[in-house]
Amino acid sequence: MTDDAPERSRRAFLRSAGTVAGGTAAAGAAGTAAAQEEDGGGGGGKPDYGGWLSDVGNFSTTEDFRGQDEVTVEVGVEGNGDYWAFGPPAMYVDPGTTIIWEWTGRGGGHNVVGENDDYSSGPSTGEAGTTFERTFDEAGIHKYYCDPHLSVGMKGAVVVGEDYPTVSTGGNTGPVVPESAKLLGVSSGFVMTAVLGCTYFFMKYGGDYGDES
């Protein structure tokens, strides 16, 4: 062993500790991004559709169109056993956004009707290129459907602004800890354990655990 072996060992120890800490920071950032995605991309929370989209075959997530003045929804896309779906079926938009429904010409005759029948595109039609538009100014969840295909799940929803019903946390009476914070806590514990282990090894063997090339 040469005289500078302990010094090289100390440098290796510090580099190892730095690598672990860097990995923890990256894991924490990834957890924060995942939490934002689950939370509606930083909006008011995950929308509570009240089961409205539970039987919509092509619904998997609420797509984000905030920042756009107009958004087009296709009427008659594949879903629910045929071309009996809206595409996309659910979206986030800003107040004042105009939704333009455009017919694809597939799946027979369709129309667009507000959940409470407060607006309608009129009688169903299967003509491709037909359009119907409506501007949503009021914040909240605005639901709609296709009258001829309501029973098979041809429904949609427009989430306007950030003031809308959100999914309940399930009756948790204590403080809610974000998933990113939980991940950071676990990662921090791992770092502490790793550093203490390296320190013990360093002290036990006096830094002499092999030369570095």
Whether 193 has a pLDDT exceeding 50, the answer reads yes
Comparing 53 with 177, the larger pLDDT belongs to 53
CA nearest neighbour of 53 among 135, 112, 141: 141
Q: How is residue 62 written in tokens?
A: 């609420």
The pLDDT tens digits for 91-123 are 999 999 999 999 999 999 999 999 999 999 999
DSSP 201: H
The pLDDT tens digits for 148-176 are 999 999 999 999 999 999 998 554 444 44
Indicate the length of the chain as a whole number.
213
Decide: helix, strand or coil at residue 161: coil
H-only helix segments in 70-178: none
The H or E element that residue 35 is part of is helix 5-38
Provide the angle, in degrees to the nearest 10, between the axes of the packed helices 179-205 and 5-38: 170
**4-13, 147-156, 157-166, 185-194: range with lowest mean pLDDT:** 4-13
Comparing 189 with 212, the larger pLDDT belongs to 189
Summary mean pLDDT of the chain: 78
* Predicted pLDDT at 168: 80
Instruction: Report the distance separating Cα 139 and Cα 66, nearest Å.
Output: 13
* Mean pLDDT for the stretch of residues 132-143: 98
Instruction: Report the distance separating Cα 159 and Cα 134, nearest Å.
Output: 14
